Structure 1
């Protein structure tokens, strides 16, 4: 819903799900992830119109955050197989929320080169809230500082690039997303997030070349997906 509606400027907080063709309000039987798509063969139950397969792709991708969170925790406790069962459920659900929102942000950035504040800023606040709820005052302060450094650092870099080259190189949303990374991983891991994101961005550019595309100095590539992937990987490795 977020990925479909935010790029179009449509309301998502209070508006019910509906068929994009006939506008009929959808019930629970129409919204079961993956199952509804399979049962209805990718068509609206009311008007028979084809449903964009993007819905199915996003629903499948949404399984990755919880599965990778469990896999990451199991890897950290591979010497103690029973350690997985002692996993803090609060931390697990915080990680899932992070993964799901990063997924939405990355997908939206690919669609329209935009990282909407309505997702980025709440995610930053939730990361700081998790640190506060942990009861570790030092960790909370460290994450707040990392959020400020990440946001301000990338913002200043973008301003400097614009002054030197006369065009936008980094959007304000990218700076905010790095701030989100700081709020979730802290100062000591912020540089690793930026390094990984830069490597992923470079690989994306090289991938465009190998697929036969032309990459120039003025070509726009979304940096949000690279940042999102880096934040998620570093978070799981903590």
Structure 2
């Protein structure tokens, strides 16, 4: 019973953090303060009260509409809250009450924020990447979750390696294939997860992107729509990073078993 209460508490924290991430997703790309002005309706500008800010439940209780003007509210706000809460709970289930849970929960929060900003604006803000690097650096100096040597190698080989590869490809095809933000994100992922985790994420992101591409091609054929030539890669890196967090060791060990 006590363990269930702790899990509900972790879920609640994740939902609340998800609500905060919604603010970051909207305001950071617009260079707005994440603290001022207080949360308000985007349509009527009414300041939201506590009952309007209860994660997921506020959205459901109003039928997905603003309580004051009746304007429809995007379901994505509740989705981000719920997604963050579930991911926090999954991290807790994996690592329990530990330093790892804090470390990977913060990392996942960064990934969720980057994912939706990239979807909306096709950018990955440097300020989020810098925050991620500083957090990981300080955290690992204090708690040694990932050895600093491994973090540095992950940063150089994941970020630097991808920069070299993409630069060569772009030189051959004469056009941009991947944005600078994506390459920097690979570096930050390598810093967070270390060398093995960073390189695994690169490989997994290719598979995630290919799977998404296949689904989009099939969907476009069915609907008779043209494919967009611009696709944000940040979400693929984020999904691959989350897979690495939960299954990275198992995937690497299984691969070593196959080649052994």
Normalising by structure 2, what TM-score?
Answer: 0.77
Q: Take 1:15 and 1:162, find their aligned partners in 2: how far apart are those partners?
A: 43
Summarize the Cα distance change of 1:215–1:68 in structure 2 as closer, same or farther, 3 Å threshold. Answer: farther
The residue aligned with 1:172 is: 180
Shift of 1:7: 4.1
The residue aligned with 1:200 is: 208
Q: Which is worse superposed, 27-36 or 207-216?
A: 207-216
Contact 2:220/2:226, CA 8 A, preserved across alignment:
no
Contact 1:154/1:174, CA 8 A, preserved across alignment:
no
Contact 1:151/1:176, CA 8 A, preserved across alignment:
yes
The residue aligned with 1:219 is: 229
Number of equivalent positions: 223
Q: Take 2:126 and 2:119, find their aligned partners in 1: how far apart are those partners?
A: 16
The residue aligned with 1:234 is: 244
Shift of 1:13: 4.3
Normalising by structure 1, what TM-score?
Answer: 0.83
2:208 pairs with 1:186: no
1:127-161 C-alpha deviation (Å, 9 max, x unpaired): 2222212247x811211221132222222223222
Q: Take 1:102 and 1:44, find their aligned partners in 2: how far apart are those partners?
A: 28
The residue aligned with 2:66 is: 44
Structure 1 residue runs of 5 or longer lacking an equivalent are 74-83
Shift of 1:174: 0.7
Contact 2:114/2:235, CA 8 A, preserved across alignment:
yes
Q: Paired residue for 2:120, among 106, 111, 118?
A: 111
The residue aligned with 2:255 is: none
Q: Higher helix share goes to which structure?
A: 2
Shift of 1:175: 0.9
Q: Take 1:46 and 1:220, find their aligned partners in 2: how far apart are those partners?
A: 37
Q: Which is worse superposed, 204-213 or 3-12?
A: 3-12
Contact 1:128/1:144, CA 8 A, preserved across alignment:
no
- Alpha carbon RMSD of aligned pairs, Å? 2.3
Q: Take 2:165 and 2:32, find their aligned partners in 1: how far apart are those partners?
A: 32
Deviating beyond 4 angstroms after TM superposition, the runs of 4 or more aligned structure 1 residues are 213-216
Q: Paired residue for 1:61, among 83, 98, 110?
A: 83
Structure 2 residue runs of 5 or longer lacking an equivalent are 1-22, 250-260
The residue aligned with 1:132 is: 141
